[in-house]
């Protein structure tokens, strides 16, 4: 998914890729992001961390984006 997001160039492509993750975006608040053909750039980082308990490894997704 990280490679697909790096290759995506429009907000429509990015939204389609991230839809299964149910992320909430503030994209529609910025005028430059409203158009489906607006240029977009997304970087997704995946980390493993012990957040909920010291016995369980959790997965943390960090997304940085711009349009």
Q: What is the pLDDT of residue 49?
A: 94
Q: What is the pLDDT of residue 27?
A: 66
Per residue, the 3-state secondary structure of 23-64, as one string, reads: CCCCHHHCHHHCCCCCECEEEEEEEEECCCCCCCCEEEEEEE
**Tokens found for residue 41:** 């750039």
Q: What is the pLDDT of residue 5?
A: 85
Q: What is the mean pLDDT of each run of 10 residues along the chain (67 residues)?
A: 86 86 71 73 88 92 80
């Amino acid at each position: 998914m990280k490679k697909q997001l790096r290759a995506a160039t429009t907000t429509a492509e990015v939204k389609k890729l991230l839809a299964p993750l149910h992320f909430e975006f503030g994209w529609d608040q910025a005028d430059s992001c409203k158009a489906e053909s607006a240029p977009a750039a997304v970087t997704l980082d995946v980390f493993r961390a012990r957040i909920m308990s010291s016995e369980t490894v959790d997965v943390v997704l960090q997304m940085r984006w711009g349009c």
